[in-house]
């Protein structure tokens, strides 16, 4: 961890922004993209910051608060399901990544992303394989995006309790598929996803 940040720091390149998303593979709910600039990527407090999937759900909120307390800037973009449908998930993700970086109050000298380079950003950027596991600023962005999206899905569960969004967070599970078969899709389901499209055209 932090090898890439160390190389950039050694080259005098700072500040660095990390970017990651949550909800790309879900068939319901928004796509959430976060960008984080850390004041000091090497701070000891950041030892608890890892890929959001590796942090227990009951501990993510505390890590989320820590990131907000010590980050130089945090930016979050929420892309509704209807926009994912109209643009396509990949295009919506890239546009959200650009907007997340542009929304930072600290202009980064370099941007590191998890998996996808950001075309047309105007800032040097690098896609890092498994970046949420090896770059702390990307890990921080993954936690922010995940916590924000999970909160949205819990609120959505109150509006559409028949689908169990608070549990599966809009991803395809046996319980979610059963609920879809019983109730059909709601306004928060992504019509462009094959399983939802198949239900609509039954």
CATH number at residue 159: 3.30.420.10
CA 175 to chain centre: 24
Mean pLDDT, range 112-122, rounded to an integer: 90
* Domain count within the chain: 1
21 is in an annotated binding site: yes
132 is in an annotated binding site: no
Confidence of residue 79 (pLDDT cuts 50, 70, 90): very high
- Look up the domain containing 110 and give its range: 3-200
pLDDT digit string (tens) for 25-75? 999 999 999 999 999 888 888 888 876 777 888 889 999 999 999 999 999
54 is in an annotated binding site: no
């Amino acid at each position: 961890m932090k090898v890439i940040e160390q190389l950039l720091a050694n080259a005098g390149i700072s500040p660095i922004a990390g970017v990651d998303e949550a909800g790309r593979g879900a068939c319901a709910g928004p796509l959430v993209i976060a960008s984080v600039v850390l004041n000091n990527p090497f701070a000891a407090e950041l030892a608890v910051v890892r890929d959001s999937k590796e942090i227990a759900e009951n501990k993510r909120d505390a890590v989320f608060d820590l990131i907000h307390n010590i980050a130089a800037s945090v930016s979050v973009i929420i892309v509704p399901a209807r926009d994912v449908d109209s643009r396509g998930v990949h295009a919506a993700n890239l546009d959200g990544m650009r907007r997340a970086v542009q929304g930072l109050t600290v202009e980064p000298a370099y941007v590191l992303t998890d998996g996808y380079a950001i075309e047309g950003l105007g800032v040097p950027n690098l896609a890092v394989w498994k970046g949420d596991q090896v770059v702390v600023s990307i890990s921080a962005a993954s936690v922010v995006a995940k916590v924000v999206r999970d909160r949205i899905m819990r609120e959505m569960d109150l509006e559409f309790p028949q689908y169990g969004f608070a549990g599966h967070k809009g991803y395809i599970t046996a319980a979610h598929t059963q609920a879809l078969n019983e109730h059909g899709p709601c306004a928060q389901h992504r019509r462009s996803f094959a399983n939802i499209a198949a239900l609509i055209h039954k």
